[in-house]
Amino acid sequence: MSMSTTVAAQWVERWESQQQRYAIDREERFTVIADVVEHLARDRPSPLIVDLGSGPGALAARLAARLPTAEVLALDADPLLLELGRAHYGTALRHVEVTIGAEGWLDTLALDRPLDAAVSATALHYLGEGTLHEVYRGLAERLRPGGVFVNGDHIGPDSAVIHDLAREIGRRRSGRCQTLAQEDWESWWAGATADPELSALPERTGERGHPHCEGNDLSVSGHIELLREAGFGHAGTVWQFGNSQVLVAVR
């Protein structure tokens, strides 16, 4: 049974709204990430881009719109989110079910040329430090010289005092924007599981495809150290608000 575009649009819109609860500056992050990728891939005839932990593919879709000749892969472990993305975004993206950081995960993509860019938004903080190190190393090996990795996520400053202040600034902004009034993660999944039009799909919505959350508490310098060890020549923050950062690493 295929999913209608109308149903997909409704659930993708709810997903986007729900995600704002956890990253109120999500759209600005997306814009910054797209700016970086567009700038560094502007002379490439057909850029190859992967979005790690894409969900339905909101960030990937924005990159495809910015770079119409690009091939953009939306990578996620959850089959329902990927199916929503396929129905909603159509052929603008290639959705691939894969667990980021699992053994051989990059090999399953069967890439036919080096990557021009790899991006992620509010996803990689779920990985443990060891797994993240291997992900960074794998990306560095697959990116072309001059290729870029861009990660928009909750990443704390190095100083514990500044880290606490950054979290407080983010909390106050969240209060001003009333983000806690948005639907939360569990409510979204409860609704999706109960929707007969989604539960009739071959994939079971009651069992999420997301792997176990290892988590890490790496600061900015911790990420930069791992990126340099992995083979990136340059790494640093290009945008920040509170503990929300966009971190860029160039191969």
DSSP character string of 3-55: PPHHHHHHHHHHHHHHHHTT-TTHHHHHHHHHHHHHHHTTT-SS-EEEEET-T
The Cα 167–Cα 83 span in angstroms is 34
Mean pLDDT of 219-243: 94
Q: Residue 89 in contact with residue 107, Cβ under 8 Å?
A: no
| Domains annotated on the chain, with CATH | 5-250 (3.40.50.150)
pLDDT one-digit tens code per residue, 11-54: 999 999 888 887 878 899 999 999 999 999 989 999 999 999 99
Mean pLDDT of 136-151: 97
0.85 cut: is pTM over it? yes
Confidence label for 165 from pLDDT (cuts 50, 70 and 90): confident
The Cα 194–Cα 198 span in angstroms is 8
Confidence label for 182 from pLDDT (cuts 50, 70 and 90): confident
pLDDT one-digit tens code per residue, 188-218: 999 998 898 887 665 544 455 556 777 788 9
